[in-house]
């Protein structure tokens, strides 16, 4: 189970302890239900290859992640046949013990954007959490957690599959 909220943001946050940084690439075999592959390369560390299944929408979603071999990841990437979405993720420690994941997506492209997520132990914690409590009210001021069309899967359709359909 994944319980998280999402905000559109501008740039990296200031004055938060950086825990780690990852370079990622991800692509979708399908978005309904979500079946995604992701390469997660820890800066100065190991690279993981993940197959992820997700169902549902909003703050609470069912999620199953399975580790892949590099060869299986590359086979699935070839099956997708579209450029994967690159993103840089920085994970920060929040004063209340939670973690803030900030993502910079498609850097340098016209579609480039930033978003942040916080994962919670349960739905009640997610619904009651306020960015004011960690001095981030001006940074986390655009909550899109419950807005339709705000998933990376929807972004995939718009920027990868949509461009393919434009050429049909």
Q: Rounded to whole angstroms, how far apart are CA atoms 20 and 139?
A: 20
* Per-residue pLDDT at 164 exceeds 80: no
* Residue with the larger pLDDT of the pair 149 and 130: 130
Domain count, the chain: 1
**CATH number of domain containing 129:** 2.40.320.10
Q: Of 122, 67, 76, nearest to 98 (Cα)? A: 122
Please write the tens of the pLDDT for every residue from 2-60.
999 999 999 999 999 999 999 999 999 999 899 999 999 999 999 999 999 999 888 99
For the four alpha carbons of 45, 51, 57 and 60, in that order, the dihedral sign comes to: negative
Whole-model pTM: value is: 0.93
Is residue 110 within 8 Å of residue 126, measured between CB atoms?
no
**What range defines the domain where residue 66 resides?**
2-166
């Amino acid at each position: 189970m994944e319980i998280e909220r999402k905000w559109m943001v501008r740039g990296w946050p200031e004055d938060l302890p950086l825990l780690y940084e990852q370079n990622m690439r991800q692509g979708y075999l399908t978005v309904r239900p979500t079946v995604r592959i992701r390469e997660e390369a820890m800066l100065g560390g190991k690279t993981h290859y993940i197959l992820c299944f997700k169902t549902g929408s909003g703050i609470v979603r069912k999620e199953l992640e399975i580790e892949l071999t590099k060869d299986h990841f590359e086979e699935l990437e070839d099956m997708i046949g579209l450029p994967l979405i690159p993103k840089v993720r920085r994970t920060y420690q929040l004063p209340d013990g939670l973690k803030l994941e900030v993502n910079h997506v498609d850097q340098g492209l016209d579609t480039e954007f930033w978003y942040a997520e916080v994962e919670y132990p349960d739905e009640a914690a997610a619904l009651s959490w306020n960015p004011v409590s960690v001095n981030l009210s001006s940074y986390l001021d655009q909550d899109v957690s419950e807005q339709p069309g705000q998933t990376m899967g929807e972004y995939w359709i718009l920027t990868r599959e949509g461009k393919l359909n434009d050429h049909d």
